[in-house]
Structure 1
Amino acid sequence: MTLPEQMIRAELLNSRITRTNAIYARFYGPLCLLVISLTFFPYYESEPGSSIIYGNLWQEVVRLGPGYDLMALLVLLLTALLLAFAAMGKLSTSGLIAILVGSTVIGSTLLQSPGYIDPPAYTDFGVFDIVLSFLTAGLVLGHAVHLFVLELAFQRGGV
């Protein structure tokens, strides 16, 4: 294969990757806003008549200090930051994998309710956040696989 053919194929691959990133980026902006906005609602329901009142993630971090909530907040903020970069189409496959890990950790942490012997019931926002975390992980995994397939096709000479 001559050098001009390789350059044309590389340019075609680059344009396909840019177009693919632009398609997925349409979803990442709203997801970023949803992820951030859900931190302002409580994930757990307070028992009627109980002295324990569960707040949103920010309130729980302030109330309880360092612990699971602080770790969850840091992972969530990092994931939201990466989603913002993905919304601009400025993220590579390794960044997508970081979002995948972050969103899976967020959803798994909420499902496991660490720190509770008998976890309280979830609010609608808590359930929505769990579902959103795993949907985000699925979308990002699909995007990463899509980019991987494009690269593989390029390496095999198909692009």
Structure 2
Amino acid sequence: MAIIDSKGRLFGKINILDLGAVLVILLVIVGIFIFPGGSGSVAQVGGKTVPIEVDLIVRGLNVLDTKQLYARGFEKGGKTKVIIRNQPHGQIDIKSVEELPRTILVPQPDGSIKQLPEPDRSNSFSKDLRLTLAGKAQITDEGPVLGNSKVKIGMPIELDGFNYNFNATVIDVRLKEN
């Protein structure tokens, strides 16, 4: 009796392709359950947790009434949800919220430029804000990590709350040693 017959069956009973598929499935199952690999984010391995403050700037936030924005916890002492690179981090404390004045550059007769407050406009709904958020981050060789994402100057962070959802940009990261 031949090991493989004319129809490609092993010992006349099992198709070789079916046997190969079953072996691949078994190897995948063994690989998943016997050798699962490391768990967690690579960025979190070996880091210590320290308090962190992150300064954010929001340019051109279109809002009708800033009092409505501040009415539901978006204020000093409140909390906001933070989303970094589409990964939710959770809630973080709001240490301060400052509305920045709008200014314009005005050329002077001597050729210099002077920065002056923007004239009041009745239909100006665009606001600039500076925020400071405080929380805990893990420190790695590549910098601070909030959740599973590194926090660095220049990166966008999404803030989400009861009546708001907007993006801000990191302008400063300060680590507080214990």
TM-score bucket of the superposed structures, by smaller chain:
under 0.3
Instruction: Tell me the TM-score normalised to structure 1 length.
Output: 0.27
Q: Of Structure 1 and Structure 2, which has the larger fraction of its residues in helix? A: 1
Larger Rg: 2
Give the TM-score normalised by structure 2.
0.25
Bigger fraction of residues in strand: 2
